Structure 1
Amino acid sequence: MATSNLRYLELLSKSFPTAAKASAEIINLKAILNLPKGTEFFCSDIHGEAEAFSHILRNASGSIRMKVDEVFGDELTDAQKRALCTLIYYPQEKLAVELGRCADENEWFYATLPQLVEVCRRAAQKYTRSKVRRAMPADFAYIIEELMSESTAGPDKEAYYQAILRAVVETGRAREFVVAMAELIQRLSIDQLHIVGDIYDRGPAPDTIMDALAGYHAIDIQWGNHDVVWMGASLGQPGCIAHVVRNCARYGNLSILEDAYGINILPLAAFAMETYRDDPCVAFGLKGNPDLSPSELDMNVKIQKAMAIIQFKVEGALIDRYPEFGLDNRKLLDKIDYERGTVVIDGVTHELTDKLFPTVDPADPYRLTAEEQEVMDRLAQAFTLSEKLTRHMRFFLEAGSLYKVCNNNLLFHACVPLNADGTLMETDVFGKRYAGRALYDALEQWVREAFFGQDDERRRRGRDLLWWMWLSPGSPLFAKSKMATFELYLVADKAARKEHKNPFYALQDDAQAMGNIFRDFGLDPETARIICGHVPVKVKDGEDPVRLGGQVLTIDGGFSKAYQPTTGIAGYTLISNSYGMVLAAHEPLESAQAAVEQELDIHSVRRVVDEVDRRTLVADTDTGAKLKAQIADLEELLSAYRSGLIAEKA
């Protein structure tokens, strides 16, 4: 036996000091391999819609209602099932409603607690008892385990079971117990949560989502372009800050900056209201219908214009600093004829929809005024000093990455950039050219350099590359020909605004092109899947999120309210369990309050993407591969014990 391998086995023997303990662990791991795989839950493009996303997590995309139906069948009416499901989704809120209207609280508890136990037992049946035990709240772990493992068959067991329930009620702990059971059911219904990018921008509460995800039991995140631009802003990158503030104003969500992250925008507001005091800012109306007063609307419009002009200026400086980015066609302030009110884009002259630019010097259009510079300096300081924002961005780095390969699925937010012929497209990153997986790996290294690098220049480059990843045609997170922010505001011609998608999207039914991607990431082109988001699927126009026979799945269905008129639905979720894969298309949630008071659930249309011939076991997953490797190591240790090569410890 090699010396290095012997040293490893000696280290392993510290955890399993006897043949008996090694044998017991082998038995345990081999048993786990034969359990059904846990449920994976995929979601993308949440865009700050915390209430709808929270509800989808709470109901596990309809899976909990299915468990209730399986457990109770015709034993409960539909109304009773709805009430029970609502209690599981919103235990504290529903408890207040139910106990406020029932005549006998104890009677309600005695009827409800056994129902929760039965649903919990159903949710836990695919897991080992030790895994379920670890998921249980500490205060009630023993009680829950006893209730879930005890059969009520026979008078002795029935009496024991009822005695536990009576003790829970009589000690005044029934309310807390209901909440604990409901949260345990929620947790057991989703074994692994995958967020395929874009938690930020548009919606009102990305911080609430981040707080919830930071406490989630098993999660991974693939960063989206709207996420990396916030990551850059948190580091003080000026292009990222300009976008983030402008976008918050555009959707009427400046409270995200002020209330959620403690970023003081008063200097900006004072500057915008003074500089654009008599300017109607005609091209800078807000998106959607934010519930703002007339004065608030006016402030948001003026802040939006102020930050748009600052954005065009700081981006011009970045484009000059990095000619290798190839973004020179995005410098448009110098293409404006300020006397005529026109701009030349790609050789075509367009009339501007807004012709008032009091802070732009036509002779030096990209120079920030002293007031603009002060605004940006104050914002950069506020972003970098926000403790909550820093904490959320560090969570991104801990739980996230640019892509993930998991159980034969390739997860990324937008695309793997392709040429028109389906070959991998090369992109220049600071003088080196990368394509496919190598591009993703290089970019992720620079992201982490931006946060943790020891060299000042490399950290600066990493920060600026976060801005590039947000809007460059070569970025796998953006995947379009241009970020047409200037045109969307200032040019009426829709043709000038057109953002052409990377060929990846047109080639999603091309087996050869997708096969190039699968092989590059080390996956089998015959069986692997791509799961991505980024581009809203226009269901109402007949677009299909399922391509190449189910091997490519685009799951951006419009969580963002601003996109729901475009998609015709209110988001997708993808559920992969031991029976196969199901895509759920969701209708809008009226409100969490309505869900509690009126027992309204999100209606979801479920579509089977893949149905397996036999249930997928843990042995068939990436976790199974790791367990098999552990078993092999333990069997080698067991052999070493039995041959006397390693002595057992007392």
Structure 2
Amino acid sequence: MTKKKYEIERDLRYLTLLAQSFPTVAEASTEIINLQAILNLPKGTEHFLADLHGEYEAFQHVLKNASGNIKRKVNDIFGTTLRESEKRELCTLIYYPEQKLELVKETETDLNDWYHITIHQLVSICRDVSSKYTRSKVRKSLPTDFQYIIQELLHERVDDSNKAAYVNVIIETIISTGRADDFVVAICNVIQRLAIDQLHILGDIYDRGPGAHVIMDTMERYHSWDIQWGNHDMLWMGAAAGNVACICNVIRLSLRYANLTTLEDGYGINLVPLATFAMETYGETECKEFVPKNSGESSKLDEKAMRLTALMHKAIAVIQFKIESQLFEKHSHWQMQDRVLLRNINYTKGTITLDGQEYPLTSNEFPTINPANPLELTDEEKMLAKRLRHSFKVSEKLQRHVRLLLQHGCMYAIYNNNLLFHASIPLNEDGSLKNVEVTPGQTLSGRKLLHNIGMLVRTAYQKDAEPEERQYAIDYFLYLWCGPNSPLFDKSKMATFERYFIADKATHKEKKGNYFTLRDNENVVDSILDAFGVTGDNRHIINGHVPVHVANGENPIKANGKLMVIDGGFSEAYHKETGIAGYTLVYHSRGFQLVQHEPFNNAMEAIRTGSDIKSTTQIIEMSSHRMLVADTDKGVELNKQVADLEELLYAYRHGIIKETERKKKE
């Protein structure tokens, strides 16, 4: 038996199933031709974003303008044929078609002429952004109402004299039938969709900004995306699973930034019981250390609201410290007993002992702490914790969004020779992979560590899991949030208590793990890529988590171009620290470009004035040839499909499998 026939016999069961989809030589051959054609299309454009932190308006605008790519295309297509103001108006229309149309109709004197000109311009832009894709893929992205019309306009050119009248009549009829507005909105949305082929979010959708729930609503409708979970995402996932320590942290952070929009308006979490408890229990105490951070939201609070926020903030923080400490003592293998700080306080003197040194507390008012048993919740705190847990568990929208994170997310991913994760890979001082004890007696490192953590996270939501195993998975969310060897944290400690209660800033220091000190070492980066099985000449690590201090001259590109840190500070709270307002890493068929964004005011101003996010582009790495689909992970898969179909053709032609005609539909 020849080698080919042996392979066919070996794969016969699979080929018989494949023959059901391609029952004849003609159909199998046609599919091979189709796949080979796709392999020679330019690679689709990938966008990488990290650490969005609830800044939904800036995030949505970056999606709408494709990180400035749509503006660049408008400039390329229309060059000097349009004035700068006209190009700006056209871009704003693409980003916000419904709102911009309302303004246009208030100012345009000849609306029909405006429709004619604008629709021709939009078709030209749509033709350009769709040029990377097959007609089939473009067709699937088109709205049903205008699918046929847009296809005709995209594939007929007005410079063909035989078709110019045909195209003009289509556009004239769109206008005369009163469908112009709907058509403009539809084609603008298609341009936005086709400008980004795949969106990668490297963690931290949640906390700080006002609209994490709005971002999740946007992702629920987005065509193609993935997420590598961040520590703040994990905190909310833990809260949704019922981990009360995570719930307390979520509420505390929201109060710290006076940002209750996501909690109350987004997810319907009832904070009235907390407010009532805080006023009754802490109403007479000093809470200056719990006044919200000065941000856009806190600046809107009057004195009375600021005081109530501070009381709630302190009340939930104390409950958090108690419940966290209970979990640290329950799970001794986490080796976090040193963080049970409530046992280190001398409640008579108002001091705390850390590492053998005594420090005075900035406040010694703890009305709910029993010095003899400082970790015990009062009856009122137990009832409050129960009510808050119930509120998180029954929030339908929160639970739906967490399911979305589980569906699209994981701890790490590998796409086209790029290793993606949010924060770090735990390392020893010499750069070797660090062994971390995930469950008692189970020590893992590198790829296995992240994979098993991902599986453990999913266990928390599996009702058929063993109760003890599921409860541990729920508890483990806290370790992922603040554990010293957590790949999502990787610091010596989370100094929350110290920042609230100890004036000496030396105690606030959180020593970063070895990954952060070694990530500029090319050999260390190569060893991590090897451990994760990432191959190829141009391979990279891409992550976020730690803001890049551009204002201080820090470079986001490290390890001789092999590692890219793309946390540029989307969150308003980081703008002064980073000097910018976020990055987008763009990977297109020509190579990598890093787009650096300036702060975005708001969508209404952008619509009214035509303002855009000011972005500067830095070329990171350009390919020696234009990359095709064949050069991607998708290309590897398509080549396997071609090989399978060629085996099927061989089986047909040698009589190993018989062709069958499809039955005609009655």
State the TM-score, normalizing by the size of structure 2.
0.96
2:520 to 497, 509, 512: 509
Counterpart in the other structure of 2:35? 29
Counterpart in the other structure of 2:326? 317
Shift of 1:107: 1.6
Q: Distance in 2 between matches of 1:92 and 1:525?
A: 45
Shift of 1:579: 0.6
Q: Structure 2 counterpart of 1:365, which letter?
A: P
Deviates more, 1:55-64 or 1:513-522: 513-522
- Aligned partner of residue 422 in structure 1, secondary structure: coil
The answer (yes or no) to whether the contact 2:426–2:487 under 8 Å persists in 1 is yes
Deviates more, 1:251-260 or 1:369-378: 251-260
Aligned counterparts, 1:442-481, within 5 A: 442-452=452-462, 453-481=464-492
Flag the 1:526–1:122 CA change in 2: closer, same or farther, 3 A: closer
- Aligned partner of residue 568 in structure 2, secondary structure: coil
Q: Structure 2 counterpart of 1:381, which letter?
A: H
Q: Distance in 2 between matches of 1:154 and 1:69?
A: 24
- Aligned partner of residue 451 in structure 1, secondary structure: coil
Counterpart in the other structure of 1:547? 558
Aligned counterparts, 1:478-489, within 5 A: 478-489=489-500
Shift of 1:525: 7.8
Q: Distance in 2 between matches of 1:303 and 1:552?
A: 42
Q: Does 1:331 align with 2:337?
A: no
Counterpart in the other structure of 1:619? 630
Q: Structure 1 counterpart of 2:559, which letter?
A: L
The answer (yes or no) to whether the contact 2:417–2:536 under 8 Å persists in 1 is no
Deviates more, 1:404-413 or 1:524-533: 524-533
Counterpart in the other structure of 1:438? 448
Deviates more, 1:414-423 or 1:334-343: 334-343
Counterpart in the other structure of 1:565? 576
The answer (yes or no) to whether the contact 2:459–2:470 under 8 Å persists in 1 is yes
Counterpart in the other structure of 1:161? 167
- Aligned partner of residue 429 in structure 1, secondary structure: strand
Counterpart in the other structure of 2:425? 416
Q: Distance in 1 between matches of 2:549 and 2:504?
A: 23
Q: Does 1:391 align with 2:420?
A: no
Counterpart in the other structure of 2:386? 377
The answer (yes or no) to whether the contact 2:286–2:365 under 8 Å persists in 1 is no
Shift of 1:511: 2.0
The answer (yes or no) to whether the contact 1:518–1:525 under 8 Å persists in 2 is no
Q: Does 1:241 align with 2:247?
A: yes
Q: Distance in 1 between matches of 2:387 and 2:246?
A: 14
2:593 to 562, 582, 587: 582
Q: Distance in 2 between matches of 1:154 and 1:609?
A: 40
Identical positions, percent: 49
Q: Distance in 1 between matches of 2:558 and 2:403?
A: 35
The answer (yes or no) to whether the contact 2:522–2:562 under 8 Å persists in 1 is no
The answer (yes or no) to whether the contact 1:515–1:525 under 8 Å persists in 2 is no
Q: Distance in 2 between matches of 1:55 and 1:492?
A: 41
The answer (yes or no) to whether the contact 1:282–1:354 under 8 Å persists in 2 is no
Aligned counterparts, 1:168-247, within 5 A: 168-247=174-253
How many residues are paired up? 650
Q: Structure 2 counterpart of 1:562, which letter?
A: A
- Aligned partner of residue 621 in structure 2, secondary structure: strand
Q: Distance in 2 between matches of 1:603 and 1:313?
A: 46
Unaligned runs of 5+ in 1: none
Q: What whole-Å deviation, never above 9, does each CA across 1:152-193 have from its counterpart, x for those lacking one?
A: 134431110000001111111111111111110010100000
Q: Structure 1 counterpart of 2:212, which letter?
A: P
1:348 to 357, 375, 399: 357
Shift of 1:454: 2.1
2:108 to 66, 79, 102: 102
Deviates more, 1:348-357 or 1:369-378: 348-357
Q: Distance in 2 between matches of 1:519 and 1:156?
A: 58
Q: Distance in 2 between matches of 1:574 and 1:435?
A: 28
Q: Distance in 1 between matches of 2:338 and 2:103?
A: 59
Q: Structure 2 counterpart of 1:37, which letter?
A: K
Q: Structure 1 counterpart of 2:472, which letter?
A: R
Counterpart in the other structure of 1:357? 366
Q: What whole-Å deviation, never above 9, does each CA across 1:524-545 have from its counterpart, x for those lacking one?
A: 3853200000001111111111
Deviates more, 1:372-381 or 1:447-456: 447-456
- Aligned partner of residue 442 in structure 1, secondary structure: helix
Shift of 1:294: 2.4
- Aligned partner of residue 288 in structure 2, secondary structure: coil
- Aligned partner of residue 83 in structure 1, secondary structure: helix
Q: Distance in 1 between matches of 2:29 and 2:84?
A: 49
Q: Distance in 2 between matches of 1:154 and 1:618?
A: 30
The answer (yes or no) to whether the contact 2:291–2:307 under 8 Å persists in 1 is no
Counterpart in the other structure of 2:62? 56
Counterpart in the other structure of 1:46? 52
The answer (yes or no) to whether the contact 1:282–1:353 under 8 Å persists in 2 is no
Q: What whole-Å deviation, never above 9, does each CA across 1:414-466 have from its counterpart, x for those lacking one?
A: 01011111011111112211111111011111111111142111110111111
Q: Distance in 1 between matches of 2:198 and 2:415?
A: 11
- Aligned partner of residue 283 in structure 1, secondary structure: helix
Q: Distance in 2 between matches of 1:495 and 1:538?
A: 22
Counterpart in the other structure of 1:280? 286
Shift of 1:274: 1.3
Counterpart in the other structure of 1:302? 311
Q: Distance in 1 between matches of 2:214 and 2:507?
A: 37
The answer (yes or no) to whether the contact 1:519–1:525 under 8 Å persists in 2 is no
Counterpart in the other structure of 1:129? 135
Q: Distance in 1 between matches of 2:159 and 2:231?
A: 56
Q: Distance in 1 between matches of 2:598 and 2:399?
A: 34
1:647 to 631, 634, 658: 658
Q: Distance in 1 between matches of 2:481 and 2:413?
A: 19
Q: Distance in 2 between matches of 1:345 and 1:142?
A: 71
Q: Distance in 1 between matches of 2:475 and 2:566?
A: 29
- Aligned partner of residue 42 in structure 1, secondary structure: strand
The answer (yes or no) to whether the contact 1:47–1:560 under 8 Å persists in 2 is yes
Shift of 1:513: 1.4
Aligned counterparts, 1:59-98, within 5 A: 59-98=65-104
Counterpart in the other structure of 2:604? 593
- Aligned partner of residue 613 in structure 2, secondary structure: coil
Q: Distance in 2 between matches of 1:159 and 1:482?
A: 71
Q: What whole-Å deviation, never above 9, does each CA across 1:518-563 have from its counterpart, x for those lacking one?
A: 1110123853200000001111111111001211001111011111
Counterpart in the other structure of 2:542? 531
- CA-based RMSD of the aligned residues comes to 1.1
Shift of 1:350: 1.5
The answer (yes or no) to whether the contact 1:228–1:469 under 8 Å persists in 2 is yes
The answer (yes or no) to whether the contact 1:252–1:300 under 8 Å persists in 2 is yes
Unaligned runs of 5+ in 2: 1-5, 662-666
Shift of 1:94: 0.8
The answer (yes or no) to whether the contact 2:446–2:531 under 8 Å persists in 1 is yes
Shift of 1:3: 5.0
Q: What whole-Å deviation, never above 9, does each CA across 1:113-148 have from its counterpart, x for those lacking one?
A: 100000001111111111111111111010001011
